[in-house]
Structure 1
Amino acid sequence: MSLTDHLVARIRQDGPMSVADFMGECLLHPTLGYYTTRDPLGVAGDFTTAPEISQMFGELVGLCLAQSWMDQGRPAPFTLCELGPGRGTLMADILRATRSVPGFHEAAQVVLVEASPVLKQVQAATLKDYDAVWIATIADLPDQPLLLVANEFFDALPIRQFQRDGTGWRERLVGERDGGLTFGLGAIGPQVALNDRLSDTKDGDLVELCAAAIPILTVIAGRIASHGGAALIVDYGDWHSLGDTLQALQNHEHSDPLVSPGQADLTAHVDFEPLAVATRACGCRHTRLTPQGLFLERLGITARAQALSKALSGSELDALIAAHRRLTHPDEMGNLFKVMGLFPAYAAPPPGLEP
Structure 2
Amino acid sequence: MTPLERALRERIAAEGPISVETFMHACNEYYYATRDPLGVGGDFTTAPEISQMFGEMVGAAVADAWKRAGSPASAAYVELGPGRGTLAADALRVLRAAGFAGGVDFVETSPMLRDAQKRAVPNATWHDRIEGLPQRPMLLVANEFLDALPIQQHVGGIERRVTVAAGGLAFDRDGEIVETSPIRDEVAATIARRLLADGGAALFIDYGHSKSAPGDTLQAVREHRFAPVLADPGEQDLTSHVDFESIGIAARNAGAGVTPVAVQGDWLIRLGIESRAQSLSRANPDRAGDVEAALRRLTSPDQMGQLFKVIAIHSPDWPAPAGLA
Per-residue deviation at 1:147?
0.8
CA–CA distance in structure 2, aligned partners of residues 119 and 113 of structure 1:
11
CA contact (8 A) 1:248 1:256 kept: yes
CA contact (8 A) 2:277 2:295 kept: yes
**Partner of 2:115: helix, strand, or coil?**
helix
CA contact (8 A) 1:72 1:228 kept: no
CA contact (8 A) 2:19 2:152 kept: yes
Q: 1:62 matched to which residue of 2?
A: 59
Q: What's the CA shift string for 1:122-178, capped at 9, x where partnerless?
A: 1111112xx2100010011122111100000000000010012xxxx1211110124
Q: Out of 220-229 and 324-333, give the one that drifted further.
A: 220-229
- Scaled by the length of structure 2, the TM-score of the pair is 0.96
Q: 1:160 matched to which residue of 2?
A: 152
CA contact (8 A) 1:83 1:112 kept: yes
Q: Is 1:303 paired with 2:300?
A: no
How many residue pairs get aligned? The number is 323
Give the one of 240, 249, 253 matched to 1:281: 253
Give the one of 213, 231, 254 matched to 1:241: 213
1:186-265 alignment runs, 5 A limit: 204-238=175-209, 239-265=211-237
Give the aligned CA root-mean-square deviation in angstroms: 1.3
Q: 1:46 matched to which residue of 2?
A: 43
CA contact (8 A) 2:201 2:318 kept: no
Q: 1:34 matched to which residue of 2?
A: 31
1:330-345 alignment runs, 5 A limit: 330-345=301-316
CA contact (8 A) 1:150 1:234 kept: yes
Per-residue deviation at 1:53?
0.3
Q: Out of 281-290 and 297-306, give the one that drifted further.
A: 281-290
Q: 2:85 matched to which residue of 1?
A: 88
Q: Is 1:115 paired with 2:103?
A: no
CA–CA distance in structure 1, aligned partners of residues 166 and 253 of structure 2:
47
CA–CA distance in structure 2, aligned partners of residues 3 and 344 of structure 1:
41
CA–CA distance in structure 2, aligned partners of residues 16 and 48 of structure 1:
33
**Partner of 1:42: helix, strand, or coil?**
coil
Q: Percent identity?
A: 48
**Partner of 1:335: helix, strand, or coil?**
coil
Q: What's the CA shift string for 1:309-341, capped at 9, x where partnerless?
A: 012234x22211110000000000000000001
- Structure 1, unmatched stretches of 5+, are 187-203
Per-residue deviation at 1:345?
2.0
- Scaled by the length of structure 1, the TM-score of the pair is 0.88
CA–CA distance in structure 2, aligned partners of residues 333 and 309 of structure 1:
21
Q: 1:192 matched to which residue of 2?
A: none
Q: 2:129 matched to which residue of 1?
A: 137
Instruction: Give the aligned residue type for 1:249.
Output: V
Q: What's the CA shift string for 1:244-268, capped at 9, x where partnerless?
A: 0000000000000111111110000
**Partner of 1:45: helix, strand, or coil?**
coil
Per-residue deviation at 1:227?
2.2
CA–CA distance in structure 1, aligned partners of residues 48 and 310 of structure 2:
15
Q: Is 1:127 paired with 2:124?
A: no
Q: 1:99 matched to which residue of 2?
A: 96
Q: Is 1:317 paired with 2:305?
A: no
Instruction: Give the aligned residue type for 1:58.
Output: G
Structure 1 runs (4+) greater than 4 angstroms displaced: none
CA contact (8 A) 2:63 2:94 kept: no
**Partner of 1:296: helix, strand, or coil?**
helix
